[in-house]
Structure 1
């Protein structure tokens, strides 16, 4: 069985500031949430998943939802700014993905959940009628309607984050969080055992067009690559001794995470 492993290092003074993970769709966010659940469980705390309707400001949060002291971490699809609802100090974090890969992955995920066959014609329909361009910029600027000024606001918001990770190299981001927060090393079952060959075909056919339609997200990703992704590596240089425990977390039924000793 193949597992992804995220190593933690011993920390003598673990952080207790709440974490708030902004989950941009199709950026390995479920893996991040699984690891945050394992971390919270190890600390005797909880991970609280923010309902999409709350995170997208379609309805107010339930009474006391963000005032509870039990959650160590919050996570969800949210407009940036939702972390300010937490009634105590909080560290915001997020993960970005190369924009063309993210769009195609979202299409394949959407079709798989609808038992719908993927094809070039179907992807063309998706791209023209269903795909929301520059989704990362919209979420991280906290704006549904965007222009180039929104990119500047999204960059400023990213810069205020505790950590920013990338899907293509997720381990440093998660290892830094686990280490700084006194967590165990964590192994998770990967969402996929192998790359879907249709992804490469769709990227070859539509990649340039997807890139043009998602130019704001490309600017955001390039900025993070130049200035933000390296923070996790820099933080990890201060650690050397492995954490004393390792756990495995599974996701057998729709984010009902199960943690066990490994």
Structure 2
């Protein structure tokens, strides 16, 4: 059986931006997105003829097996992006409290859930979110009684052995170029998606961040491990990679400016002329 590409999308790691790039490189019928509750229900079982068309699966879901990577009984070629755990948690909390379409929006706002409560809560909806979520996810283990050293060791093993690429959100362009070489992407220019507005996380205090660091020490160590793996990949790409990266950033900056001008033009058409206030 041919391998299916599998993007394990960890929340708030630039995955929406990467998904937009991926969809430019694959026909719609070849992509299976699993995010909403309806997606999970619809995709529990897939017919063989549907699976034959699928080349890429993307979503907030784990494979059925990491060793070897498999889903729907098919072998996978997996990739993912990691982000600084504290910044990821802050971004996740703020995004979910301010995005009405999110499934936790009403729960967080109606119950007045603070960031510290989000981290420490044992409520079913929040139980793992603020406590080494990424380590549990990449280990494939969600059990509170499991020793965290074991979970972390397993997560590191999977990052090292089960993924064709582990990218870093803070180094998105480098991650994208490495991924393009790994899985054969050709259309790479992008606009950033689902970014928080400036100052959106102003309510998060130093005390909040200290608690997050204390409760997510395994994720912090896993992130450092992932960065080391990433550095190894960049070094292995050789001196020519830096030149390719400079060229890509130069051209993508022009692309983003063009997109911004087009967006502004379309907004002007939609709202009509903007009148200057009288002096």
Structure 2 length as normaliser, TM-score? 0.67
1:75-86 to structure 2, matched below 5 A, reads 75-80=58-63, 81=65, 83-85=69-71
Greater shift after overlay, 148-157 or 163-172?
163-172
1:157 aligns with 2:149: no
Q: Which residue of structure 2 lines up, in the alignment, with residue 102 of structure 1? A: 88
Greater shift after overlay, 152-161 or 201-210?
201-210
Listed as ranges, the gaps of 5+ residues in structure 1 are 1-15, 251-262
Q: Which has the higher strand share?
A: 1
| CA deviation after TM superposition for structure 1 residue 193, in Å | 7.2
Q: Which has the higher helix share?
A: 2
Equivalent pairs, count: 228
The DSSP-based 3-state class of the residue aligned with 2:32 is strand
Q: Distance in 2 between matches of 1:73 and 1:218?
A: 29
Q: Which residue of structure 2 lines up, in the alignment, with residue 134 of structure 1? A: 132
Q: Distance in 1 between matches of 2:187 and 2:214?
A: 42
Q: Distance in 2 between matches of 1:139 and 1:66?
A: 30
1:1-150 to structure 2, matched below 5 A, reads 17-41=3-27, 46-51=30-35, 61-64=44-47, 68-80=51-63, 81=65, 83-85=69-71, 88-113=74-99, 114=105, 122-129=114-121, 130=126, 131-145=129-143, 146=146, 147-150=148-151
| CA deviation after TM superposition for structure 1 residue 158, in Å | 0.5
Question: What per-residue deviation string (whole Å, max 9, x for no partner) do you get for residues 173-221 of structure 1?
Answer: 12222244042232224323753x2425515231111001001101110
Q: Is the 8 A contact 2:8 2:58 kept in 1?
A: yes
Q: Distance in 1 between matches of 2:90 and 2:221?
A: 18
Distance 1:59 1:73, change over 3 A: closer
Which structure has the greater CA radius of gyration? 2
The DSSP-based 3-state class of the residue aligned with 1:133 is coil
1:186 aligns with 2:186: no
